[in-house]
Amino acid sequence: MPLYETMLQEKPPIVLEIGTALTKLGFAGEPYPRSIIPSVVLDHEAKNAGLTTPNRKLFDYRDEVELYDWLVEFLKTIFFKYVLVSPKDRKVVIVESVLCPTIIKEKLARALFCHFDVSSVFFVPTHLVVLATLAVETALVVDIGYKEAIVVPVFCGVQALYAWEAQPLAADSVHNEIKRQLLESGVDEKLLTETTVEDIKIRTCFVTTAERAAKYREDGGSSLQPCPDVDYPTKGEAIIKVSGRLRETAYEVMFPEDNDRLGLPYIILNAILKCPRDTRIPLANNLILIGGSTMVQGLTARLKSELLALSRSDLYKDRLFVQTFKFHKAPAEPNFTAWLGGSIYGATDLVLSKSISREAYSKNQTIPDFTNYEETRNASRG
């Protein structure tokens, strides 16, 4: 029987992208996830106290046992509250970064196979599947999520893992900067919950231009016409005054000017610099920004101007030999572009040939690494 006929007769795989802050979930072959939910769980102490609201972040675990228990509870919520299907004998596609800790992959696979009895699990690397949404095979993928910014070059469909770069320049750093400035302005700390700070960031903040950012560093912005202040009402009892300076400078934590040279433009150029010379221009002309933190207004324009300025500086001009930088516009919002790539992969025959089957997992519970994937892992061994 042709392979495509067997695919059409089977139930579509479930596609999961479990992030530090948010989890995207849906079915393979669909253009967008069914739900985007917070990656939070209800711990045992809160459950025994009769609480029902999740109170802990999924990956703030103390030990392996707690991680496994939380993954089981979180997957129960996904399958029976949001996806609304039985996971038994289902295929599952997991969109994971190549830098994801091995312990998380192993516990996730154990929970899916041993607790939920899924038929197979297909781990796909985030930075590679993103390229499927654009039908390109070479790109520099910049993933800015909640905890860190990760840069991974992909050339001819192969991830150049020797050239990856990562720094904690993401949403968490921006939240801390917003909270710091608001506390300095006299705002009550009790009002600044994680939800409130994130909402202030989304509704009021943006990335300013390189010229205005330089002025803020030089004289604190005294020579500039500031953008308007914003009054943010919270809990119906207080108003937080968000200054124009905060609105413009909150994202400057991604562009630090110091001797370490580890800002966002630097790690992008360093990743390109680690690649062979003949791959640098194609990578620079195929930049893809993914992750929720890249959706902020002004980031792409600021990043392009910073990259052009740095490429002409003494630090890079005699080594990089790149004059232009071009950015792709993916056919999905940046916060679920990686999930869409997993959805595309899950709708192909790769989910049959590359997955880890339940039978193979029962014989060998070691989860293979992306860089050393056993081609015939699910084949019977005589």
pLDDT in tens, 146-195: 999 999 999 999 999 999 999 999 999 999 999 999 999 999 899 999 99
Amino acid at 185: S
310 and 165 in a single domain? The answer is yes
C-alpha 229/C-alpha 246 separation (Å) is 9
210 and 293 in a single domain? The answer is no
Q: Is the pLDDT of residue 377 over 80?
A: no
Amino acid at 311: S
Give a yes or no: residue 9 inside a domain. Answer: no
77 and 115 in a single domain? The answer is yes
C-alpha 38/C-alpha 171 separation (Å) is 14
C-alpha 270/C-alpha 306 separation (Å) is 14
pLDDT in tens, 74-115: 999 999 999 999 999 899 999 999 888 889 999 999 999 999
Give a yes or no: residue 364 inside a domain. Answer: yes
CB atoms within 10 A of CB 157: 11
Instruction: List Cα–Cα distances, 299 to 115, 147, 295, in angstroms.
Output: 42, 17, 8
Which element (helix H / strand E) includes 357? strand 356-357
Q: Model-level pTM? A: 0.90
196 and 222 in a single domain? The answer is yes
Give a yes or no: residue 8 inside a domain. Answer: no
> According to the model, what pLDDT value does residue 53 have?
78
Q: How many domains does the chain have?
A: 3
Instruction: List Cα–Cα distances, 281 to 187, 285, 330, in angstroms.
Output: 48, 6, 20
Give a yes or no: residue 374 inside a domain. Answer: yes
Share of the chain above pLDDT 90, in %: 70
Domain boundary among 286, 309, 328: 328
Give a yes or no: residue 2 inside a domain. Answer: no
370 confidence band (pLDDT: 50, 70, 90): low
Three-state DSSP class for residue 224: coil
The DSSP-derived string for 35-75 is: EEEE-EE--HHHHHTT--S--EETT--SSHHHHHHHHHHHH
> According to the model, what pLDDT value does residue 353 have?
85
229 and 81 in a single domain? The answer is no
> According to the model, what pLDDT value does residue 6 have?
46
Give a yes or no: residue 3 inside a domain. Answer: no
9 confidence band (pLDDT: 50, 70, 90): low
CB atoms within 10 A of CB 35: 12
- What is the residue range of 235's domain? 171-254
CATH code where residue 163 lies? 3.30.420.40
Q: Per DSSP, what are the bridge partners of residue 79?
A: none
Q: Per DSSP, what are the bridge partners of residue 154?
A: 139, 159
74 and 211 in a single domain? The answer is no
18 and 101 in a single domain? The answer is yes
> According to the model, what pLDDT value does residue 42 have?
86
24 and 118 in a single domain? The answer is yes
CATH code where residue 223 lies? 3.90.640.10
C-alpha 200/C-alpha 243 separation (Å) is 11
Domain boundary among 254, 286, 310: 254
34 and 112 in a single domain? The answer is yes
Give a yes or no: residue 5 inside a domain. Answer: no
45 and 73 in a single domain? The answer is yes
Domain boundary among 254, 286, 301: 254
Terminal CA-to-CA distance of the chain, rounded, Å?
25
Token pair listed for 146:
């909640």
160 and 233 in a single domain? The answer is no
> According to the model, what pLDDT value does residue 371 have?
53
Q: Is the pLDDT of residue 336 over 70?
A: yes
Buried b (16+ CB within 10 A) or exposed e, 65-90: eebbbbbbbbbebbbeebbeeebeeb
C-alpha 219/C-alpha 120 separation (Å) is 59
> According to the model, what pLDDT value does residue 62 have?
87
C-alpha 151/C-alpha 155 separation (Å) is 13
- Mean pLDDT, to the nearest integer, of 57-75? 92
41 and 79 in a single domain? The answer is yes
372 confidence band (pLDDT: 50, 70, 90): low
Give a yes or no: residue 69 inside a domain. Answer: yes
